[in-house]
Structure 1
């Protein structure tokens, strides 16, 4: 290991930052275990259920992990700040340590400086839980600490890539922050456009998708996975592996980093350019989401969000170039990015989420399907002459079933395909579906345009209803005029993933499915 690391130097860095480690131990202990300790006496005195208290402890653990994430994300900027000063860099480069080894030694020291305070907090928390009879497990605690340690490379990567490609500490902080929030902005865009241009009430952001987009989610859930029955996702393992690979790439960038550009706002222009372009396109997609808004159709309300993103882009450009000498070129670049964002917007609209509506898992990928529905229906008694006697009754059309037989699973996926295909036959635009099927009623909709604006009489005899009881229209004045049913399909795949689709469909579409679940 001495070939790659200088342990004497690592020890020096740790001793140099021992006061910082004490401070970090205090900060990391605020929620877990100190908050748990302060609340423990109350729960103990109130004779609370131990399972409930354990859930409270897990909540404080999550708060601790969030603080640990934030500290770990920015601590490399402090340890590696010498890279932003030509004078300090000359001193460090004069040490009898190879450049690549210096990088790895500093990186290992950074990991140790942040993990030791966390170990202190976690061990303290172990004894707090033990004191209140929660029976924590030593191996579980060690496993949780191990997960935290192996996740540190990917958590610290944004700061390392930023300080390797930027010559000032201030700019490194800005771009580290951008890299840290970028996954969450991407998740917001996926959620917004998924709900806007995919007609089903869907779970587009499944845990598997979350774990693939952001390592923050994977980190917290990986720690909580130890010693629990939570579902495992491959993203929990992939992110640490990616982290070690990226740190190796950073080691190479550190070696070839041009020293003459230190203290300059930009060492590698490709880094800031690509990062700002991605951020701007995502922010433009959020701004352009107002195009789908029903609250206002005024042009000014559509333009304001775009102008806000333009201001953000110009500010970042001014920071990079230390002024507005690049102003007109920045305007042209922004126009190109706006065109790309508009293309993505209309691509989503014209393809219904780039074909997401049509995605139905293959039958051989499905372990089971949970089919459920719950809908209040209004019925009316009829006399022997089929005349209403005005006695209104309330009942429920509901079912719930776990489908595990292959033939029945195929029946469910066929039903799912029928919904997707028939939707486009009956409802040619999303706005009509939302306003007349989902109930987002607004004045001015042509009543005759709805395909189900005809008299509809149920032929069902279910839930104990007699044959002389018929289904009435909903008593809501403006929408849901004709009885519709909410059907939810939960797919549990063999690879451990789980997602669902929830549709509002005419009642008669679900008749065969209802029979199958009885």
Structure 2
């Protein structure tokens, strides 16, 4: 009984010693919650806000949305953690407390629980005041109390986790300033290390995978208490699934238990003479010093590499980071400038480790960029042509719990890799082999791109699934005709086409209506109209899927799309109706304007079915009489000659001769939807504006022709223009 009384008496005495911390914490929460709530609701009432506006205003302060409270929790975990165990850094106070007839564990928890109690009580009192303010302003308790209490429990739990980290740092140190620095190290070292390794990976590994979420960002929220707190807060704000939230809370509880247990054990063996020293345990000095010095040296080397792209400057940066960090830490450890180089062996170990790590990345000692799996080890291969399908919308339209529509985005790599298994693995491996060969030549400064190579630049990512269950991802970029032929072979395969275009797996049951866009008009095909007992929506979908799946790169080189078609899902149709009902022109545009696909002139069956529905698509041949074409001759100048920009040279060519216009339009393609054609390369075509005379007057359209199809008169104009450039330049 005496022991219990002493325990609580010590808690009371400790709270008296820390009244300033209690007052600071109370005032912080007072202005952040009840005062902020009153101000917000008062301002909303003056603006005649609706009830829901008032409710959301109160929730934004008392619930999860209050980012200011989230920051306060971090700061208070540091302040209260430091004040709870600051007496450990004073020899007189340590001698006094250790002379009391109380076990060290109980003495630890006296101070530990007081810090938690201060936060709990001040937060709870001010939360109740804030809720009272909200209720007095007409907010129904059920609309504010559950979320406010949920935020209270969430933030209190994470405060204890962050607070425990500070307590551990205070136990391991003998000086308040060093304890604060130690807390920073615990919170930031491993995130900084992960980000640094990722930066080295991205900078030096030329085939590093650039799609999806990297392992760095998957580990980032698990490598420190602070990043776990930020990640959990973001997850709660975004409304993550309940199963995921339970796992996150369990992880926090485990972290609290582990850190608190470590702090108690270290406090039990901590000597009283540690007060006033930088580190309470001598054995911890190299354990803390060596990782920090290595990290600092690598940061210095990478920083100067970024500045000058030179191994010499990188070495200079490594040395600077090494010396500065090592010397500063030694000064902190010994509180003596004369101890700068007191641990030479440790510094040499750090230098060697930093140099090996940096060289490992810089010279690819791991063989990362050279990796090509053996076909016998492969279960499957998937290829995502990154810069060829950028116009495709991956993901789906969905409805949330509040009946609001949104687009659930999915990256192209994630979508394609989950669906593709190339049967022709030989072609994929040949392409990877060529890409790796180009990477190695680039590293040795041996690869020179010529103008033709630049016409065929393709970036792509690969997923190798090995028979042992391992998955390997790489990203490449290739140039050259032979490599381009391999890309085309993969693109033309059914395995690629079926995985790359979501429309090919869309079902009639999930298709609400069809929208067709050409130039400035839009037409719809709705359900109800039928042909031979089949709904036109179903018939057009199946026909389009058949023609899209059979489309080849050869056809795409010769043609450009003439229109866009969208097979709207049922949810997209519902979102469109909701937009029209609510009268907001912008509402749900992000949901409705996704999922458009090209209609090529070769899609004759699809075009015919659309015409049966009263939708006639115009092509180049039936656009009308072309009376003039305007061509910018800059497109025909030599690519490696900048002198054609001279202001004395006339670059605009106007073609009015009927025969020349006819020759130009013979192979012309509409440019309106060329962005949907991955084989309509900018450097391979000549664009021009044509004035077309139709029934409604003259209209201008943008067209293009391939350079290989250039008519004779334009070839002569090209030669004349380049001669003029040479003459003026000379």
TM exceeding 0.5: yes
| Count, aligned residues | 444
Change (3 A) 1:31 1:182: farther
For 1:201, what is the secondary structure of its paired residue?
coil
For 2:392, what is the secondary structure of its paired residue?
strand
Change (3 A) 1:75 1:408: closer
| TM-score, with length taken from structure 2 | 0.51
Is the Cα contact below 8 Å between 1:199 and 1:357 reproduced in 2?
Answer: no
Q: Which structure 2 residues correspond to residues 242-253 of structure 1 after superposition, within 5 A?
A: 242-253=255-266
Say whether 1:170 aligns with 2:164. no
Say whether 1:314 aligns with 2:327. yes
Q: Which structure 2 residues correspond to residues 125-140 of structure 1 after superposition, within 5 A?
A: 126=131, 136-140=143-147
For residues 430 and 302 of structure 1, the distance between their equivalents in structure 2, rounded to whole angstroms, comes to: 24
Say whether 1:515 aligns with 2:498. yes
Is the Cα contact below 8 Å between 1:5 and 1:104 reproduced in 2?
Answer: no
Deviation at 1:10, TM superposition (A): 2.4
Say whether 1:272 aligns with 2:285. yes
The residue that corresponds to 1:412 in the other structure is 420
The residue that corresponds to 1:400 in the other structure is 394
Is the Cα contact below 8 Å between 1:168 and 1:265 reproduced in 2?
Answer: yes
Change (3 A) 1:54 1:309: farther
* Greater relative contact order (CA < 8 Å, ≥ 6 in sequence): 1
The residue that corresponds to 1:88 in the other structure is 93
Is the Cα contact below 8 Å between 1:166 and 1:266 reproduced in 2?
Answer: yes
Change (3 A) 1:513 1:206: farther
The residue that corresponds to 1:387 in the other structure is none
Unaligned runs of 5+ in 1: 359-363, 377-395, 436-442, 455-479, 490-499
Is the Cα contact below 8 Å between 1:208 and 1:235 reproduced in 2?
Answer: no
Structure 1 residues 6-43: Cα deviation after superposition (integer angstroms, max 9, x where no partner): 23432443354344223113334555675676566666
Compute the RMSD of aligned alpha carbons.
4.8
Unaligned runs of 5+ in 2: 374-378, 397-409, 464-472, 479-483, 505-730
Deviation at 1:190, TM superposition (A): 3.7
For residues 421 and 29 of structure 1, the distance between their equivalents in structure 2, rounded to whole angstroms, comes to: 67
Say whether 1:229 aligns with 2:203. no
For residues 182 and 416 of structure 1, the distance between their equivalents in structure 2, rounded to whole angstroms, comes to: 46
Is the Cα contact below 8 Å between 1:5 and 1:102 reproduced in 2?
Answer: no
The residue that corresponds to 1:193 in the other structure is 200
Q: Which structure 2 residues correspond to residues 470-481 of structure 1 after superposition, within 5 A?
A: 481=455
The residue that corresponds to 1:462 in the other structure is none
| TM-score, with length taken from structure 1 | 0.69
Structure 1 residues 427-476: Cα deviation after superposition (integer angstroms, max 9, x where no partner): 347587899xxxxxxx996115x9xx56xxxxxxxxxxxxxxxxxxxxxx
The residue that corresponds to 1:69 in the other structure is 74
Q: Which structure 2 residues correspond to residues 111-130 of structure 1 after superposition, within 5 A?
A: 111-123=116-128, 126=131
Change (3 A) 1:54 1:429: farther
Is the Cα contact below 8 Å between 1:163 and 1:169 reproduced in 2?
Answer: yes
Deviation at 1:109, TM superposition (A): 0.8
The residue that corresponds to 2:23 in the other structure is 22
For 2:394, what is the secondary structure of its paired residue?
strand
Is the Cα contact below 8 Å between 1:14 and 1:112 reproduced in 2?
Answer: no
Change (3 A) 1:188 1:132: farther
Change (3 A) 1:220 1:310: same
Is the Cα contact below 8 Å between 1:140 and 1:226 reproduced in 2?
Answer: no
For residues 122 and 129 of structure 2, the distance between their equivalents in structure 1, rounded to whole angstroms, comes to: 11
For 2:283, what is the secondary structure of its paired residue?
helix
